[in-house]
Amino acid sequence: MHKQVWLITGAGRGMGVDFVRAALVAGHSVVASGRDRDRVSRVLGTSSDVLAVTLDVTSAADAEAAVRAAVDRFGRIDVLVNNAASFYAGYFEELTPAQIDRQLAASLIGPMNVTRAVLPVMRQQRSGHIISISSSAGLAAGFEFVSAYAASKFGLEGWMESLQAEIAPFGIATTIVNPGFFRTELLTEQSTNYAEASIADYDDRRGPLVEYWKAQNGQQLGDPAKLARALITIASEKQPPRRFIAGADAIVTAEQKIADLKAQIEAHRELSTSLAFD
C-alpha cells in the first residue's frame, strides 16, 4: 500500500478520531480537521504525519483554507472523508426551520463545501477518493423522529451518486458509507439536538422516543475502530465500492429496503407500465 494523504472532517471527536488513528497506523499522512483546531491537536497529539486545521464545514472559506494548508504541507490529497455531521432529532412539525437549516448545513452542504474545495486538487492529480459517511437513515427512514437527519443523508446520497458519474473520468472514486448503530458520540448531549415539545398531538409518543434515543448512547453494537480499519481497506482497493454497508444491522436495513421496493413495484406493476403513449 502506497502512502496516502487523507483529509478527514470532524476529526476532533467521535468516529473521526478513530478514522485518523487508523490512517496513521496504516502509514498514511492525515489532515485532521475540526471546528476547534486546539481540541484536534490535544486529542491526536503531535506527529510529522498529522496536520490539525480549523474547519467548520458550513464555511466554504474554511474548506478552501484547509485544502490549501493540506497541499502546502503534503503536496496532494488522496482521500477525503466527509465525516462531520450533526443530529437534530424530533417530529418534523416540531423542528424549527432554523434547526432544519442547521441540519442540512452540517450534514449536506458541509460535505459539498469541502468536496468542492478538494476536487480541483484531485482533478489535477487525476486521482483521488471521496468517502462520505451517510447512515442507515440515508437508505431507509420509515421511522419517527429522524426526518431532518434522514433528509440530509438522503440528499448526501443523491448528490454523491450523481457526483460519481461526473468525476469518474478524472480517475476520482466515490464511496457512500452506510453505518448502522456504532458506539460514537452522535447520541451524546453535545451532538444530538432535540426539538422542543410544542404540539400536543405528539405528546404520547414523544417522551418514549426521546428516552429510547438517549438510552442507545453507549450501547450501540458497532465498533468504530473496526469501521475505521474497514475504510483503510476500501481506500486501498483498485476499484473501491461505490457503496459500503457498514454493520450487520445496516445490512438488515438495506435488505428490507430492497424487499419493500420490490413489493411496491409488484403491487402496481401493471399500472406503472401502462403509462406510455398509446
CB contact at 8 A, 195 and 89: yes
When the pLDDT of each residue in the chain is averaged and rounded to a whole number, the result is: 93
pLDDT for 216 equals 72
Is residue 186 scored above 60 in pLDDT?
no
149 is catalytic: yes
More confident position, 63 or 12: 63
The catalytically annotated residue of 91, 149, 194, 202 is: 149
Is residue 261 scored above 60 in pLDDT?
yes
Instruction: Lowest mean pLDDT of 33-42, 201-210, 237-246, name the range.
Output: 201-210
pLDDT for 246 equals 94
pLDDT for 117 equals 98
Is residue 187 scored above 60 in pLDDT?
no
CB contact at 8 A, 176 and 242: yes
Taking the C-alpha atoms of residue 91 and residue 194, their distance in angstroms, rounded to an integer, is 9
pLDDT for 95 equals 96
Residue with cell 480499519: 229
- Averaged over 229-247, what is the pLDDT? 96
pLDDT for 273 equals 97
pLDDT for 211 equals 82
Residue 1's pLDDT band, with cuts at 50, 70 and 90, is low
pLDDT for 184 equals 66
pTM over 0.85: yes
Query: What confidence tens digit (pLDDT) does each residue in 197-222 have?
Result: 889 999 999 888 888 777 776 666 77
Contacts of residues 252-261 at CB distance under 8 Å and 24 or more positions apart, as own/partner, are 253/136, 253/139, 253/140, 253/178, 253/180, 254/136, 254/139, 254/140, 254/178, 256/140, 257/139, 257/140, 260/140, 260/142
- Averaged over 163-189, what is the pLDDT? 86
More confident position, 46 or 264: 264
CB contact at 8 A, 32 and 14: no
CB contact at 8 A, 52 and 20: no
- Averaged over 175-200, what is the pLDDT? 79
pLDDT for 13 equals 86
Q: Is the dihedral of CA 24, 26, 31, 36 positive or negative?
A: negative
% of the chain surpassing 90 pLDDT:
80
